Amino acid sequence: MRAGDLLGERYRLVGELGRGGFGVVWEAYDQRVGRQVAVKTLRDQDGRQDQEAGTDRARFGREMAVLARLTHPNIVLIFDQGEAAEGGESYRYLVMELLNGLTLKQVLATERPELPRALDWARQLCAALAAAHAADVIHRDIKPENIMFTDPDHRLLKVLDFGIAQIGDNKDGGLTTAGVVIGSAPYLAPERWRGEAGTVRSDLYALGCVLFELFTGARPFTAAGTYALMVQHVEAPPVPATALPRELDRLLLDLLAKDPAARPPAAAEVGRRLERVAEAVRDLRRRADAAFQAAGEGRAPEALTQLRPLIAQFALAFGRGDGRTVRGCHDFAVLLARAGAHDQSYCLLDELLPHAAAALGEGHPDVEDIQRRLARTPVPERPCPPGVLDALLSGVNRAGS
């Protein structure tokens, strides 16, 4: 099979999108309806051991059966399935929507999304899992590689690869006939390592691992080697993500609980808790706007009181190097000067300037504004105490406290 071939007298193969032990995924053109699609193909006879080939065929058939019963905006759509012969060999194929974006793994390798955007992605994942679980489908392999964005803007994501999903109870447990655990080691729930059946809550544990990576930039467990990683998942408590809002940190720890009964009961509940975190972030912005309004109306002392805790919360929600956090610190220095605290204003600006330049770049407009403000502010007679900026950024322990 090669580019240019016509599959099933309908799908003109354009080029390979991916290749693995399961077969090949192609970009193709559906000549009947006039659209680009993705076609996953599997040869019925591929020269490997009969048992291994049979396993691949079973997984391929399972994916067709699972996707045929799932329709949701955050789950890849299946359009068609069938069998074809080419060059003396027979193939099974599965036709799906073609996604033009990157996987979540690829995105996280190049960028750390801001908290509001990460929360939106997380809620989309919960919606996909809630739909699958409502259809009695356990995915069993939730990981960043199996989550793909539909376009380069990264607005809509979809869950892929239901090849090892189960429908209903898994009577055979979580092991293959060779005694190998089914799933991906960095995201596998403790009970799955023990060979127990996949459940809604084992999917939610994997979701917790993915969300931990999404919100912190690192996996919760990172041991080298499969055995050491298994020990961490089964025995080691996850490290709290203290740089995150309190409720979000609590949710991640709940999802990563060793005991399945201690985890949230459903993906929909996880989605509701994420929405509460998102609302807290939106409220943070509203309160910041109120502080800026007070400053604009000449009420500097009141604005200082409102803005001080918000700056630390912006740092926790968006990062210390985020432009909103830097501007908040700059605004606070301006308010200090308006309130007559010129020495404090100078000391804050003096520490903020190199921090802002490192975070935003030397030529950034906000950095230039800080430079101009610092040049106009009188130099204190006494040396500035160290840690002025750090004290402001660490004014509270948690966003929303």
Angstrom distance (rounded) from CA 3 to CA 12: 8
Taking only the tens place, the pLDDT of each residue in 263-281 is 999 999 999 999 999 998 8
What is the rounded CA–CA span in Å between residue 351 and residue 259? 46
Q: What is the mean pLDDT of residues 156-177?
A: 70
Give me the pLDDT at residue 350, please: 95
pLDDT at 115: 86
More confident of the two residues 151 and 120: 120
The per-residue pLDDT for range 326-339, each reduced to its tens digit, is 988 998 998 898 88
Q: Strand 137-138 to strand 157-159: parallel, antiparallel, or no bridges (unpaired)? A: unpaired
Between the alpha carbon of residue 348 and those of residues 206, 337, 342, the distances in Å are 43, 11, 10
CA torsion through residues 339, 340, 342, 344, sign: negative
**168 Rama class: left (phi>0) / alpha (psi -120 to 50) / beta:** left
More confident residue, 174 or 378: 378
Structural domains in the chain, sorted by start: 6-97 (3.30.200.20), 104-276 (1.10.510.10), 298-393 (no CATH)
pLDDT at 122: 98
Q: State yes or no: is 369 an active-site residue.
A: no
Q: pLDDT tens digits, residue range 198-240?
A: 899 999 999 999 999 999 899 999 999 999 999 999 999 998 8
Whether 206 and 187 have beta carbons less than 8 Å apart is answered as yes
Of the two residues 245 and 63, the one the predictor is more confident about is 245
Neighbours of 15 (CB within 10 A): 10
**pLDDT at position 45, please?**
56
At 400 the pLDDT is 37
pLDDT band, very low/low/confident/very high, at 183 (cuts 50, 70, 90): confident
Of 164 and 74, the one with more pLDDT = 74
Question: Are the C-beta atoms of 32 and 8 separated by less than 8 Å?
Answer: no
128 vs 327: which has the higher pLDDT: 128
Mean pLDDT of the region 343-355: 95
Q: Which residues contact 2 (CB under 8 A, 6 or more apart)?
A: 13
Comparing 10-19, 183-192, 241-250, which segment has the lowest mean pLDDT?
A: 241-250
Whole-angstrom distance, CA of residue 319 vs CA of residue 117: 13
Residue tagged active-site, from 56, 141, 249, 366:
141
pLDDT digits over 29-88, tens only? 999 999 999 998 887 654 445 555 555 566 666 677 777 778 899 999 889 888 887 767
From edge to edge, which strands make up the β-sheet containing 6-7? 6-7, 11-20, 23-30, 35-43, 89-97, 78-86
295-301: average pLDDT: 77
Per-residue model confidence (pLDDT) at position 111? 85
Does residue 178 surpass a pLDDT of 60?
no
User: How many C-beta atoms surround the C-beta of residue 336 within 10 A?
Assistant: 21
Report the pLDDT value the prediction gives residue 352, as an integer from 0 to 100.
Answer: 95
HEC-encoded secondary structure of the chain = CCCCCEECCCEEEEEEEEEECCEEEEEEEECCCCEEEEEEEEECCCCCCHHHHHHHHHHHHHHHHHHHCCCCCCECCEEEEEEEEECCEEEEEEEEECCCCCEHHHHHHHCCCCHHHHHHHHHHHHHHHHHHHHCCEECCCCCHHHEEECCCCCCCEEECCCCCCEECCCCCCCECCCCCECCCHHHCCHHHHCCCCCCHHHHHHHHHHHHHHHHHCCCCCCCCCHHHHHHHHHHCCCCCCCCCCHHHHHHHHHHCCCCHHHCCCCHHHHHHHHHHHHHHHHHHHHHHHHHHHHHHCCCHHHHHHHHHHHHHHHHHHHCCCCHHHHHHHHHHHHHHHHCCCHHHHHHHHHHHHHHHHHHHCCCCHHHHHHHHHHHHCCCCCCCCCCCHHHHHHCCCCCCCC
pTM: 0.76
User: What is residue 177's predicted lDDT score, i.e. its pLDDT?
Assistant: 43
